[in-house]
Amino acid sequence: MAEKKASDITKYRFLSSRGKAAELICRKDWSNTSVKPIPLWPQSLRTTLNLSLSLLTPVLFLWGKELTCFYNSAFYELLEENDKGILGTKGGELLNDVQHFKNVIRNASSESLTVHPFKFELIGNRSFLYSVSPIFNEENEVAGIYIHLNENISDTKKNITRELEESERKFKMVADTAPAMIWTSNIHRSYDFLNKGWLDYTGRLMEEELGQGWTQGIHPEDIERCADIYNHAFDHQKKFSMEYRLKRADGKYRWIADEGTPRYSSEGEFLGFIGACVDIQERKMAREELERKVLERTSELNKRNIELQLQKEFADTILESSVDVIAVLDTELKYVTLNRSACEMYKVSKEELIGKKMIDVFPGIIDSGMYNDLKTALTGQTIHNPKYRSTVLEKHFENFYIPLKNRNDSVYGVLLVSHDNTAIVETTIQLEQTNRILEEKNLALERTNKELESFSYVASHDLQEPLRKIRTFAELIQKDLKNEKIARKYFSKIETSAQRMSDLIKAVLNYSRLSKTEDLYADTDLNNILMNVRSDFELLIQEKGAVIKSNKLPAIKGIPLQLNQLFSNLIGNSIKFTENTPKITISAKIVDPHNMPAHPDIQPEKKYAQLVFRDNGIGFEQQYSDQIFTIFKRLHSTESYAGTGIGLALCKKIVENHRGFIAVKSKPGKGSEFNIYLPVN
Amino acid sequence: MESKTLNCLLIDDDPDDQEIFCMALGDMGKEVNCTFANDGVDALKKLSENSVLPDFIFIDMNMPRMNGNECLAKIKEENHLKAIPVYMYSTSADPATVAETQRLGAAGFIVKPTSVSELTKTLKFCLK
Residues of A in contact with B20 (CB under 8 A): 472
Q: What is the mean pLDDT of each run of 10 residues along chain A (681 residues)?
A: 50 76 86 86 88 84 86 82 76 64 64 47 60 82 80 53 76 80 89 89 89 90 92 92 92 92 86 90 88 92 93 88 91 92 89 91 85 92 90 88 92 93 90 92 86 70 84 90 90 90 82 71 91 88 91 90 90 87 93 85 88 90 80 62 73 89 90 92 70
Residue A458 and residue A439: Cα distance in Å, rounded? Answer: 28
A639 close to B (CB below 8 A): yes
Query: How would DSSP label each residue in A36-77?
Result: -SGGG--HHHHHHHHHHHH-SS-EEEEETTTTEEEE-HHHHH
Residues of B in contact with A635 (CB under 8 A): 64-65
Residue A531's φ and ψ, nearest 5 degrees, are -60, -45
Residues of A in contact with B38 (CB under 8 A): 637
CB pairs under 8 A between A and B: 51
pTM greater than 0.80: no
B15·A639 Cβ contact <8 A: yes
Residue A35 and residue A68: Cα distance in Å, rounded? Answer: 8
CB A360 within 8 A of CB A385: no
User: ipTM of the assembly?
Assistant: 0.84
Residue A117 and residue A271: Cα distance in Å, rounded? Answer: 9
Smallest CA-to-CA distance from A392 within A415, A413, A418 is with A418
CB A606 within 8 A of CB A679: yes
For domain A518-679, the CATH architecture is: 2-Layer Sandwich (3.30)
Residues of B in contact with A630 (CB under 8 A): none
B90·A493 Cβ contact <8 A: no
Domain spanning A322-420: CATH 3.60.20.10: no
Of A464, A493, A632, the CB nearest to B16: A493
Domain spanning B38-92+103-116: CATH 3.40.50.2300: yes
CB B90 within 8 A of CB B109: yes
Helices (H), ranges, A322-416 = 340-346, 350-353, 358-361, 369-377
* Other C-beta atoms lying within 10 Å of the C-beta of residue A5: 13
Could you report the per-residue pLDDT of A134-192, keeping only the tens digit for each? 888 888 888 888 887 765 444 445 566 677 777 778 888 888 877 789 999 988 888 88
Could you report the per-residue pLDDT of A349-384, keeping only the tens digit for each? 888 889 999 999 888 888 888 899 999 999 999 999
Q: Is B37 left (phi over 0), alpha (psi -120 to 50) or beta?
A: beta
B64·A636 Cβ contact <8 A: yes
* Other C-beta atoms lying within 10 Å of the C-beta of residue A309: 10
A309 close to B (CB below 8 A): no
CA angle A232, A262, A101 (to 5 degrees): 80
Residue A667 and residue A651: Cα distance in Å, rounded? Answer: 20
Residue of B nearest to A624 (CA): B65
Query: What pLDDT score does B107 carry?
Result: 92
Q: At A298, which amino acid appears?
A: T
Kindly list the domain boundaries of chain B, sorted by start residue: 38-92+103-116
Residue A521 and residue A515: Cα distance in Å, rounded? Answer: 11
Query: What pLDDT score does A593 carry?
Result: 87
Of B23, B39, B91, the CB nearest to A465: B91
Q: At B118, which amino acid appears?
A: E
A637·B114 Cβ contact <8 A: no
Of A471, A632, A636, the CB nearest to B114: A471
Side-chain-facing half-sphere of A603: CA atoms under 13 Å: 14
**CA-based nearest distance B65→chain A, Å:** 5
Of A461, A497, A632, the CB nearest to B92: A461
Smallest CA-to-CA distance from A201 within A166, A251, A160, A244 is with A251
Smallest CA-to-CA distance from B76 within B88, B86, B67 is with B86
**CA-based nearest distance A675→chain B, Å:** 23
Residues of A in contact with B118 (CB under 8 A): none
CB A524 within 8 A of CB A518: no
Q: What is the DSSP letter of A458?
A: I
Q: Could you tell me the CA-to-CA distances from A603 to A517, A600, A681 in Å, in that order? A: 20, 9, 12
B91·A464 Cβ contact <8 A: yes
Query: How would DSSP label each residue in A224-268?
Result: HHHHHHHHHHHHHT--EEEEEEEE-TTS-EEEEEEEEEEEE-TT-
Of B38, B94, B114, the CB nearest to A460: B94
A476 close to B (CB below 8 A): yes
Of B13, B90, B112, the CB nearest to A637: B13
Q: What is the DSSP letter of A291?
A: H
* Residues A50-80: b if buried by 16+ CB within 10 A, e if exposed: bebbbeeebbbbbbbebbbbbbbbbbbebbe
Task: Mention the CATH class of domain A158-279.
Answer: alpha beta
Residue of A nearest to B61 (CA): A461
Residue of B nearest to A462 (CA): B91
**CA-based nearest distance B64→chain A, Å:** 4
**CA-based nearest distance A465→chain B, Å:** 6
Mutate which of A453, A462, A468, A641 to test chain B, going by most B C-beta atoms within 10 A? A468
Interface of A with B in 441-470 (CB under 8 A): 457, 460-462, 464-465, 468-469
Residue A189 and residue A448: Cα distance in Å, rounded? Answer: 129
Mutate which of A457, A471, A472, A492 to test chain B, going by most B C-beta atoms within 10 A? A472
Q: Do domains A322-420 and A518-679 have the same CATH topology?
A: no
Side-chain-facing half-sphere of A96: CA atoms under 13 Å: 15
Q: Chain B residues with CB-CB distance to A under 8 A?
A: 13-17, 20, 23, 38-39, 62-65, 90-92, 94, 112-116
Query: What pLDDT score does A288 carry?
Result: 86
CATH of domain A2-153: 3.30.450.20
**CA-based nearest distance A585→chain B, Å:** 27
Kindly list the domain boundaries of chain A, sorted by start residue: 2-153, 158-279, 322-420, 426-462, 518-679
Q: Can you name the residues that pair with A556 across neighbouring β-strands?
A: A524
Which helix (H) or strand (E) segment holds residue B102: the answer is helix B95-104
**CA-based nearest distance B7→chain A, Å:** 25
Residue A359 and residue A481: Cα distance in Å, rounded? Answer: 104
Residues of A in contact with B39 (CB under 8 A): 637
CB B110 within 8 A of CB B85: no
